[in-house]
Structure 1
Amino acid sequence: MATRTFGAAVQRNIDDRLLTGRGHFIDDIDLPDVAHAAFARSPFARARIASIDADAARAHPGVLAVYTCEDIGHLDQDLPLLIPHQSLIGARTQRPLARDDVHYVGQTVAMVVAVDRYTAEDAVRLIEIDYEPLPVTVELEAAAGEGAHLVHPDVEGNVAAHFVQNSGDAASAFARADHVTKITVRVERSCAAPMEGRAVCARWDRITGQLTVWDGTQAPISVRGGLASLFDIDEDRVRVIAPDVGGGFGQKVLFFYPEEVLVPMASIGLDRPVKWIEDRTENFVGSTQERTQVHTIELAATRDGEVIGLRDSFLHDTGAFIPYGIAIAQVASTSIAGPYRIPNIEVEFKAIYTPTVPVTPYRGCGRPQSCFAIERAMDKLAEELGLDRFEVRRRNFIQPDQFPWKREGLLFADGLAVCYDSGDYPEALKKCAEAIGLDRLDELKAEARSRGKHLGLGLGFYVEGTGLGPYEGGHVRIHPITGKVYVNTGLAGQGQSHETVFAQIAADQLGVDPKDVIVVEGDTGAFDWGVATFASRAAVVSGNAIHKAAAKAREMVIEAAANMLEASKDDIELEDGKAKIAGSDRAVTLAEVATATNPLRYAFNKAAQSATQFAPASKHDGPPLAEGKAPGIEATDYYSPPYSTWAYGCHAALVEVDADLCSVAIRKYVCVHDCGNMINPTVVEGQVVGGMAQGLGGALYEKIIYDEDGNPRNAGFMDFLMPYATEMPKVDIVHMETPSPLNPLGVKGVGEAGTIAVPATVISGIEDALKPLGAGHFHEAPVFPHMIFEKLEAGDKAA
């Protein structure tokens, strides 16, 4: 293959359009006669709805309709449970509009549709809703305890799910252990905070019976199927388009949010387009969140530091509803052993309802919590045994010759036993130690002390199951006039560079420049079948489907070109947009091949052929397409992964703490990662650094705070802290490439990789920095300045 761009740092195809302001987001869609929706949301975490009086709102000038649960007909039902599981005890999902009672601040209670957004918002304030507040228990541990107020009266103990998994014999391992380390760690709630909130615009065409929905979703094909079912419309009459989407991070993969159902409903009922754009406060109280878990983890070890058993029991806060099933908790539980060769594992969790915003996956999906738990426990084990942190990890790593490493009894999110496919964990740790300057650590700590500061080394290692099935597809077509290659996929992007990496995959097969490949995604009218963009799966599943489809198209080009050039197929090369005979200048362009393989070109005599306006006239006398072959150059294929592929990485940080100000600064940050064969190193680095920024938020800044009544206290960027660009350290990235044996491209996912290990790494660095001051252990994330102060004060008192 003469032209190869796979693995090259190709510039992103989309950059020019976005950076010059030519992006096209849902709020840019300006349909004639479009109406606007706004929502009345609950101001209480738990309350009965005694009455709703919407008469004044309905009478307000410019209001087209007001909807309560009484006005939405058959849609007044629980929204779908996306991922059922046998461990679910009391699975509850919310209704589009609350009936009888509410379960969290921000729950939708009524919708107003008006001629403009201002009128709709004004009318919402005219709706009189009589609430009877109910007592609540907000904190996770309390909600799981005796006497807690119930979020759902019929769900005992607020337990949404209870699941226990075993691999090996943990009880026996603990019975014969020389040493047991036990800690409890807590990771707080955060939110995705994408630049663009959620948005929906719907248009119903009464004449054709066609429903078109523009939705800022990560799952357009799934949304199409759900809408068709809810509205009893044939799927081919529903088109869902996800245009440019300003970030998702998992928050936009859920379907259905109430607004995704109600806006199309209003469009159908009013026979006119309806649009809703989420504002920032709504994003904090109406869009799903993640993270809060409390783990009690125990390690059974020999006196030499070999871990022979692990027990983990944790609580998972699922918010007021559980629309995504146990996915987050299940991923956390099956990632808890990290990269370590631990033969005996017992992990148990309870998913607990709290009267807060519902919880669904956010970038990392349970892995930051489990990584924090196991990495903090490994540090504690090393301390208790008087061993070096690096050495304890070395002694417990799965070795390169032990792959595939299977953990029978631990079922991952794909329903299969955890099976790590490939990697070299010792080498990643070695490279990380070298890059962070471990051999100079004492010198660097001394230099910091000379400036009145305290320097610590943070360390964290993660594994990440990526490329979840069941499948994705790809369609590749060569345009007969331009010769450009069109790639259609069922995915939707939110900044992952699909337009570039998918183009590179197809370009390599067809011998063209990636800029001559047009990737069409996020439109159910362009590709019929697929799942969604989530779980670091696009490159693995869609990438391989596109690779397979492009390989088919390549064979078609070679066969047709060989006939056109009267050559052997073995002598045809694809390069620079041409099919040519190797070692000669005889060639045909891909456009000519695509034109020649269209039978329409041979439906006329030569004179008619040269005069036709359908396409450029072919220069060849007979159709090169063999009898029985499909016309044109286009192919479709699908890929279903046998197992998830497991990426991994090692992070290290030099963390400087000012004990007087209780402030933290990252002086150096290193990420060694392995996502298999890299399609585009620049894109990979962008994903890693972007993920690391969100991980830093989880380490030092981000916590959704609820008061004792369930009111969010920081539902906006004024109060919810996130890292500034000036607080982001430069990240030194070291690439490793261990090809996955599970797929033709040898790739693994990377979208969430940067996030997972950051809290464990940074917080272990804080602990190491303050150890000489007697500050003790930091087993909560994030760490705020007041927590450092309290630890230092407690250390002083103890001294």
Structure 2
Amino acid sequence: MSKYGIGQPVLRFEDPRLLRGQGRFVNDINLHGQTYAVFVRSPHAHAHIRSIDTKTAAAAPGVLAVYTGHDVVADGLGMPKANMPRKRPDGKPMFAPQRPALVVDRVRYVGDPVAMVVAETLAQAKDAAELVEIDYEPIPSVTLTEDTVKPGAPAVWDDCPDNISNFVERGNKAATDEAIKGAAKVIKRRYVITRVHAQYMEPRGTLGVYDQGEDRMTLYADVQYPHRVRNMLAQNVFKVPESKLRVITGDVGGGFGTKGWQYVEHRLTLWAARKLLRPVKWCCERSEAVMADEHGRDNVGELELALDADNRFVALRLNMLANIGAYVGSDRNLLSPFGMIGTVLGVYLIPKAYINVVGVLSNTNPTAPYRGAGRPEAIYLIERLIDDAARELGIDRVELRRKNMLGEAALPYQSPVGPFYDCGEFEKNMDMALKLADVAGYQARAEESKKRGKLRGLGIINAIEQAAGTAQPEYAEIRFNPAGTAALLMGTKAQGQGHETMFKQILNERLGIDPHDVQFIDGDTDRVAFGMGTNGSRSTVLGGSALFMAAEKVIAKGKRLAGHLLEAGEQDIEFAEGIFKVKGTDKTVSLKAVAMAAFNPTKWPKSGFEGGLYENATYLGEKDTYPNGCHICEVEVDPETGEVKLERYAVVDDVGTVMNPIGLKGQIHGGVAQGVGQILGEQVVWDRESGQLLTASFLDYTMPRADMMCSMEVKSNPVPTKYNPLGAKGAGEAGTVGAMPVLMNAVIDALAPLGVRDMVMPATAENVWRAIQAAKGA
């Protein structure tokens, strides 16, 4: 077996240059004649704009232009819009207000862009931005999700007085209502999932360039979908042929979904570059990021779980409010949790179910996919509810899960709310995790904690997620050079996950090519013919499968030429580990030699052979995939201060075929850290009365630190899917999907002896302490 093939623990090829500071991020790109942009953003959550005076700013040293929304409108720039077929609960069409590049008359959240200043230097642009005079008339705002639909709540848009944008239903409402009505027991709960920000290592940035000679625009930006961004800008914003626009994405300092799509700064820097005939650069500063970016999560779910007399689940009903912010700039703002909430049934047999998700508008940033994009929320809801049910009914939570779990004999399984689980070993995952986490020894550890005056809690959850959506295809191309080396071009876009290493492993597995002989290319719409980008754990499943198919085409063409070189029939040639061989003989020729011959006409068959060796493939998955697993963790809580300490963490995951165990562990570690961060501190907060943003910097927004984490035990239980040639299910979001519910369940378990039954997210020391005091008072 090759040391670089699928399943091998290959160290990442990307790391040496990144660790040496040789990466090429947006901020590393600087062009001759470059100018700098700074945006003037609204300090109000909701206000009318009485007037904007730009004269003083425009006359400031080094200033080239000051633009407002009126300038954008005058130039006829288009606005992307949502196309998903949605309605409001009253049957009317979805209310989906488009997002202007610069606001003209009314700001609707803190950070709404109002003006753009372009100057010779960044310092001059910042100074001039301070001189833009805007007369605001503040009006009442609504930022808290539950407040949006209360009687008398301020309307974000006058044309939508109830703030309801749209809704989505899944399942059978009548059958679910009937099952709940006749159930022996019904457990009801309400869970609030807070809003968070991605807080990547590198904030967003963009550099717009216009070539007057070619009448062509080039955008350098850290986006996850370069081709889709190009298409959106060309078709919907500038209304030009796609050939007139190029998007280049180099290294990306973390994306997590939040960098996925087209932001207003992209179109504005391109637009300004075209007007000024000079490159225009904008790089978001850390203090600006929470105001400038889309956010994640933010919903309130009310659940009811019905059980029969034998404690078997018979029905589940979920009514959810999902905060989508002030604008619906594209379908992206509707994806989470609307598209992914179907996994709220988890890995359990729940015959009847009904889900109703209502998207509400608020005076906040739009929400969009953030690592997991609805799947962590779904598993948080069901696994919190199962723990609460077990506690309320006085039964063992592991046995309650085991009794209701989908067994291998039940698979494949069509969920009553949409998902189709094709394969998995859910009970085995749990059993492996129970052993890995030494749950049998938990009680002794809890007693030891008690002696030290601490409370110990145990969390156990089963997770499943919908990944690698089949609605969009993916592209791969293998392009050999005359010297026999190759270029690998992928339509996905790496943001730190290790794509180069993983794709080279697949290529090595199929073609036997030394990874050091392969040039990896992604993120350039001029070099890569097509691609849908990276999101939803799709890169391995769809991109890897496209690469697999392209490799098969290389082998097929190579066999014909190898047969000619070896003086044998094409049908007599076999291929393995980079070598073509005549069956039953020792006559061989390497793929590298065949590739070189493909560019030498003297070595071609006399007729019917097209020279060169470059193949591509576009792959569309047959069905979505469903990574799954079991997470177990232990926490220790100080009852005097409320401080929570993560003590132990174990994961058993089924991501299908494992491409690289080192990369997989890295993905799980990172995903768990983001889930832990949300539970222990991360939260975007506005003042409920004024709408003022209270968590705009790291002084107020709590990020997970190394001392919040603990050592993790990670094992795999791969059950390959048959719905793609690699058997892969996806791994990028698995850690987060399980981490949120397991950590909160562990905290509640620790506090349960004190009478605490619920607490608000996040489990900060203050919130935990307040929950303890409230329980004592009760």
Shorter-chain TM-score: which interval? over 0.9
1:306 partnered with 2:286: no
**Alpha-carbon displacement from aligned partner over 1:570-610 (angstroms, at most 9, x marks no partner):** 66565675545578775544443223222xx33xxxxxxxx
**Map of 1:545 onto structure 2:** 546
**Map of 2:35 onto structure 1:** 35
1:48 partnered with 2:56: no
- 1:435-514 alignment, distance < 5 Å: 435-469=436-470, 470-481=472-483, 483-514=484-515
SS at match of 1:699: helix
Of residues 345, 362, 367 in structure 2, which corresponds to 1:354? 362
CA distance in 1, matches of 2:20, 2:333: 41
**Map of 1:634 onto structure 2:** 614
CA distance in 2, matches of 1:77, 1:564: 58
When residues 665 and 75 of structure 1 are mapped into structure 2, their CA distance, relative to the original with a 3 A threshold, is: farther
CA distance in 2, matches of 1:626, 1:453: 82
Of residues 245, 250, 253 in structure 1, which corresponds to 2:252? 245
CA distance in 2, matches of 1:318, 1:238: 30
Of residues 243, 248, 265 in structure 2, which corresponds to 1:259? 265
**Map of 1:209 onto structure 2:** 215
1:390 partnered with 2:398: yes
Unaligned 5+ segments in structure 1 are: 411-416, 603-621
1:718 partnered with 2:730: no
SS at match of 1:474: strand
1:781 Cα deviation from its structure 2 partner: 2.4
1:303 Cα deviation from its structure 2 partner: 2.2
Letter in 1 for 2:681: Y
When residues 528 and 167 of structure 1 are mapped into structure 2, their CA distance, relative to the original with a 3 A threshold, is: farther
CA distance in 2, matches of 1:6, 1:74: 55
- 1:90-489 alignment, distance < 5 Å: 90-167=95-172, 169-229=175-235, 230-255=237-262, 257-323=263-329, 324-408=332-416, 410=417, 417-469=418-470, 470-481=472-483, 483-489=484-490
SS at match of 2:729: coil
CA distance in 2, matches of 1:597, 1:41: 58
Of residues 695, 699, 724 in structure 1, which corresponds to 2:675? 695
1:701 Cα deviation from its structure 2 partner: 0.9
Letter in 2 for 1:381: A
When residues 96 and 535 of structure 1 are mapped into structure 2, their CA distance, relative to the original with a 3 A threshold, is: same
**Map of 2:91 onto structure 1:** none
CA distance in 2, matches of 1:532, 1:710: 35
Q: Percent identity?
A: 35
CA distance in 2, matches of 1:73, 1:706: 31
**Is contact 1:299-1:377 (8 Å) kept?**
yes
**Is contact 2:759-2:768 (8 Å) kept?**
no
1:310 Cα deviation from its structure 2 partner: 0.3
CA distance in 1, matches of 2:575, 2:17: 29
1:738 partnered with 2:719: yes
**Map of 2:662 onto structure 1:** 682
When residues 217 and 2 of structure 1 are mapped into structure 2, their CA distance, relative to the original with a 3 A threshold, is: closer
**Is contact 1:458-1:653 (8 Å) kept?**
yes
CA distance in 1, matches of 2:171, 2:230: 38
CA distance in 2, matches of 1:75, 1:472: 35
**Alpha-carbon displacement from aligned partner over 1:211-253 (angstroms, at most 9, x marks no partner):** 1111110010011112222223321221111100100001111
Q: Work out the number of aligned pairs and report it.
A: 767
1:568 Cα deviation from its structure 2 partner: 5.0
Letter in 2 for 1:228: A
Letter in 2 for 1:303: A
**Is contact 2:375-2:466 (8 Å) kept?**
no
CA distance in 2, matches of 1:514, 1:430: 38
When residues 70 and 2 of structure 1 are mapped into structure 2, their CA distance, relative to the original with a 3 A threshold, is: closer
1:509 Cα deviation from its structure 2 partner: 1.4
**Is contact 1:35-1:114 (8 Å) kept?**
yes
SS at match of 1:188: strand
CA distance in 2, matches of 1:274, 1:794: 55
CA distance in 2, matches of 1:2, 1:177: 57
**Is contact 2:4-2:10 (8 Å) kept?**
no
**Map of 1:613 onto structure 2:** none
Q: Which moved more, 1:439-448 or 1:588-597?
A: 588-597
**Is contact 1:220-1:524 (8 Å) kept?**
yes
Letter in 2 for 1:370: A
SS at match of 2:464: strand
**Map of 1:782 onto structure 2:** 762
Q: TM-score, normalised by structure 2?
A: 0.95
CA distance in 2, matches of 1:446, 1:2: 49
1:34 Cα deviation from its structure 2 partner: 0.7
1:760 partnered with 2:747: no
SS at match of 2:487: strand
1:10 Cα deviation from its structure 2 partner: 1.2
CA distance in 2, matches of 1:4, 1:243: 25
**Is contact 1:186-1:779 (8 Å) kept?**
no
**Is contact 2:604-2:611 (8 Å) kept?**
no
**Map of 1:597 onto structure 2:** 598
SS at match of 1:787: helix
**Is contact 1:85-1:325 (8 Å) kept?**
no
When residues 400 and 233 of structure 1 are mapped into structure 2, their CA distance, relative to the original with a 3 A threshold, is: same
CA distance in 2, matches of 1:72, 1:314: 37
CA distance in 1, matches of 2:547, 2:713: 32
**Is contact 1:331-1:367 (8 Å) kept?**
no
CA distance in 2, matches of 1:472, 1:401: 33
